[in-house]
Structure 1
């Protein structure tokens, strides 16, 4: 009966405490409700019928009517809530991913590139209100997908990123400059680049510092991530006869000073990921640092349900009045 029902004035339910008081009053005063007649003998009167014994039913009708009135005063109602969200501060993000051969190193499981794609996919899914684009770079850089709000397109493009699509090498300047180019005309209040690499800048015709200066000019914040364990890592060192990679231990070389300078000059931060867990923590931290402001509007629609209780109380009082003035008229 009261499913999904709320009460606007539940304090009126305290009046229900009057009901047991009324019952006690009726119990002690019931014999005073009828007029009495003293006679010497009742042998000449017919035996009392069942009707007088039903007289307390009238009091029950009044009691139920009072309870219904109290429920009506508490104002039962249903509430329909509709919400609308408005993004008040959108963020445009470009993820620049190193796809050089060193990204196939196996210090992260199953390798650096596969580990990154998994973590990056989780990051993308956590940004439903932002536009995201992908840039891949090795010896050169290119836009895998422009910034878009369609996350399915971004996730599909991320899955398609593999080694061998570009000439080998690590062109950090090219990767950063290509990312800046995707964001320079963005109208978003906040523009972010997440640049990940596992090496040193050794190719490309744009210097990393030049690309960083462009990011500063267009007010683009850059978070940089150095990927790779400390020390040696099992990495591709040569090709086998069948074209597959031959793996061997190689020293991990990451130009951390360069990455720190890029992050500092653009207002971002530098992170170092030495294993899968650390990489996940870094993307989670970036996700917390760059929050999209969402404004939520709630609309409430109330439907009053007190009228049936008022009608019930009126019906009970009417029945009580009719019964009192018909069946019990000779007794009251």
Structure 2
């Protein structure tokens, strides 16, 4: 489809004719030779002398070329362009941070898989998280891992396959043996500082109690709530264990409530899978769509054609003039 960016300029097409039709002709005085016997010449020619002017007229070829060149110039000024097919671009309107506990207790093999076999906690969690990530097509996601310290394993990205790769590289204990839930939340909130969307969600999974944070989880959750960040928390592991191996369900539930999120507990792979499915339903994909049509500028064609016509006519008139002179 061909359109004009400035179609109003096409109104200039009749401008030369309007000027020729309604404006007085250009007059120019030129020197002439005075002939003493001018009267005798006019009588011999049968003409009556009078004051007048000689009107120079162009040939049909010159006139046709002038009209063609003018039309091409106006078309070029109107900026003709070819419109391509509409292109729709969807981008995520929500950023999600996955905060994953990889402390030493995640090495326990107490998660029962769908096949009835016991699995390592972290491997079971990673398997379910991959399914969740695959279902979040077009969402921007980041991965934070935490143990004694919290680290950004993968910054915000829409390339969810690369996020899977970073998740595969995650191993138990690589961030230290302890659990720093508060620091993980604080790092996630700082990660959102580079985010330009209003919908911000943290999905935090932990199997222990906070033992090494510089900021308490409750204070970190309060800061997150003040900045409009929602935290969904998931507790896994053994709530009746002792020491650092005991998952602090009360703290995880309090974190979620303070930010307007929800708390979940899973004791096997199926329950964990169901939880991520619930979170997926509670936080459906939000996208912002923008569409545009690619354009190809065609003004150069009109300009090139006008130049070609002008050079062709000039060459032809020059050849004619030389033939007459010879």
Q: TM-score, normalised by structure 2?
A: 0.57
Structure 1 residues 258 and 87: alpha-carbon distance in aligned structure 2, compared to 1, 3 A threshold: same
Distance in 1, matches of 2:159 and 2:91, equals 19
Distance in 2, matches of 1:201 and 1:283, equals 23
Distance in 2, matches of 1:297 and 1:135, equals 30
Structure 1 residues 290 and 86: alpha-carbon distance in aligned structure 2, compared to 1, 3 A threshold: farther
Distance in 1, matches of 2:99 and 2:204, equals 5
* SS of alignment partner, residue 158 of structure 1: helix
Structure 1 residues 289 and 164: alpha-carbon distance in aligned structure 2, compared to 1, 3 A threshold: same
Q: 2:132 aligns with which of 106, 123, 128?
A: 123
Distance in 1, matches of 2:86 and 2:279, equals 28
> 1:274 aligns to what?
267
> 1:261 aligns to what?
254
Distance in 1, matches of 2:233 and 2:140, equals 19
Say yes or no: does 1:203 pair with 2:212.
yes
* SS of alignment partner, residue 184 of structure 1: helix
Q: How does 1:151-170 map to 2 (within 5 A)?
A: 151-170=160-179
Structure 1 residues 167 and 291: alpha-carbon distance in aligned structure 2, compared to 1, 3 A threshold: same
Q: Which runs of 5+ in 1 are unaligned?
A: 1-81, 233-248, 299-332
Distance in 2, matches of 1:208 and 1:120, equals 23
Q: How does 1:245-324 map to 2 (within 5 A)?
A: 253-294=246-287
Q: How does 1:232-243 map to 2 (within 5 A)?
A: none
Q: TM-score, normalised by structure 1?
A: 0.56
Say yes or no: does 1:103 pair with 2:120.
no
Q: Could you give the per-residue CA deviations for residues 151-206 of structure 1, whole angstroms, max 9, x where no partner exists?
A: 12211000000013122101110111111111133112311000010011111211
Distance in 2, matches of 1:137 and 1:144, equals 9
Q: CA deviation at 1:255?
A: 1.1
Q: Could you give the per-residue CA deviations for residues 91-145 of structure 1, whole angstroms, max 9, x where no partner exists?
A: 1000000001100111114111000001111111101110010000001101001
- Confirm or deny: 8 A CA contact 1:139 1:168 kept in the other structure: yes
Structure 1 residues 277 and 219: alpha-carbon distance in aligned structure 2, compared to 1, 3 A threshold: same
Q: Could you give the per-residue CA deviations for residues 198-218 of structure 1, whole angstroms, max 9, x where no partner exists?
A: 011111211111211221121
Distance in 2, matches of 1:154 and 1:88, equals 17
> 1:183 aligns to what?
192
Structure 1 residues 164 and 296: alpha-carbon distance in aligned structure 2, compared to 1, 3 A threshold: closer
Distance in 2, matches of 1:251 and 1:170, equals 8
Distance in 2, matches of 1:129 and 1:190, equals 14
Q: Could you give the per-residue CA deviations for residues 257-301 of structure 1, whole angstroms, max 9, x where no partner exists?
A: 111111011010000011100000000111111112458899xxx
> 2:304 aligns to what?
none
* SS of alignment partner, residue 146 of structure 1: strand
Q: Which runs of 5+ in 2 are unaligned?
A: 1-84, 112-117, 292-326
> 1:239 aligns to what?
none
> 1:222 aligns to what?
231
Distance in 1, matches of 2:288 and 2:151, equals 35
> 2:114 aligns to what?
none
Structure 1 residues 295 and 150: alpha-carbon distance in aligned structure 2, compared to 1, 3 A threshold: closer
- Confirm or deny: 8 A CA contact 1:96 1:193 kept in the other structure: yes
